[in-house]
Amino acid sequence: MIHQPDPALLTLVFLTIMTAQNTTTPPKKIPTQRILLWVGVALMLLFCLAPVLWQILTSFKTNPAISAIPTVYIPNGDQLTIAHYFSLGNEFLRYILNSFLVSLVSTVVCLAVGAPAAYALARLKIPGEQIVLAIVLVVSLFPYVLLFLGLLEIVKAAGLGNNYLALIVPYTAINLPLTILVLRSFFQQLPKDLEDSAKIDGYQTVPMLLQIVLPMTIPALVTTGILTFIFAWNEFIFALTFITRSELQTIPIAVAKLGGASVFEIPYGPIAAATVLGTIPLVLLVLFFQRRIVQGITAGAVKG
């Protein structure tokens, strides 16, 4: 399997860099410095995005143009096609839906379970808190691929094979430690005065958490949620092993299973098209939520 940089994560990194540049560059500067800066930015972009651009290019080239030597970098009108996308067929939408469902549910469950746990660990003085944290940390250190043989037995015993739950439960569990650790440190930074103030205003515990604490937690929830979603969207081994019925497959499996008419033919065009289609939802997701992350929503709560 080719290991590529994840386009969605790249997008996130770039947006962050660009925002930082925009805010730190003073309006008037020596031009040469700015030129150097932008050349640097362009080179970085090219270096990181090249594999992605290559996939996009391949997905739009005709089969002869893909296999042509010398390589066609800028295809002319005859060498462009969108047939690869149509060749994927309607069942590909089904795979996207599967991926979306599995990723969304595990993200939501992960946040719904992780956030209260993180809050409890941050705010309550639980005896043995350090031990609990250490265990959480150790769990996050397991290489998850090693777990999969054991999990396979569990999935078989529980009769969860060919069921979305076989993916949702492990994805949630694998991402819980990180979610708890990130959210806990976020909760610790939240000013405690706000919660005290809410108590004095008369909020009961649960409404206070939902109406006062939760709205301020959104940036952290979005950040950890996106990480969980990307993991679940891209996960391969579990999805390959626990799901065998094709109508339940997720995108990475569907892409990997694309085959030509014979074993000697690799359908580069359709694979590239499937990769692009499978990545677009992630990129859109990050673009959509990125503003939420950058926004400091606690600004103005307490004197800074």
> Which residues make up the interface to other proteins (CB under 8 A)?
191, 193-194, 196-204, 207, 212, 215-216, 297-303
- Residue nearer to other proteins on the CB measure, 29 or 199: 199
Nearest CA-CA partner of 41 in 63, 61, 16, 71: 16
- Residue nearer to other proteins on the CB measure, 70 or 300: 300
- Residue nearer to other proteins on the CB measure, 14 or 203: 203
CB of 205 to other proteins, least distance (A): 9
Distance of CA 254 to the CA centre of its chain: 18
- Residue nearer to other proteins on the CB measure, 180 or 213: 213
Q: Phi, psi at residue 30, to the nearest 5°?
A: -65, 125
CB of 132 to other proteins, least distance (A): 22
Per the CB < 8 A criterion, the answer to whether 228 and 80 are in contact is no
DSSP assignment of 207-252 equals HHIIIIIHHHHHHHHHHHHHHHHHHHHH--HHHHHH--SGGG--HH
**What's the rounded Cα separation, in Å, for the pair 229 and 1?**
21
CB of 217 to other proteins, least distance (A): 11
CB of 92 to other proteins, least distance (A): 40
**CA dihedral over 217, 223, 228, 229, signed as positive or negative:** positive
Per the CB < 8 A criterion, the answer to whether 14 and 45 are in contact is yes
CB of 202 to other proteins, least distance (A): 3
- Residue nearer to other proteins on the CB measure, 67 or 211: 211
CB of 207 to other proteins, least distance (A): 8
**What's the rounded Cα separation, in Å, for the pair 65 and 76?**
10
- Residue nearer to other proteins on the CB measure, 156 or 192: 192
The residue whose two tokens read 């996009």 is 56
Amino acid making up residue 162: N
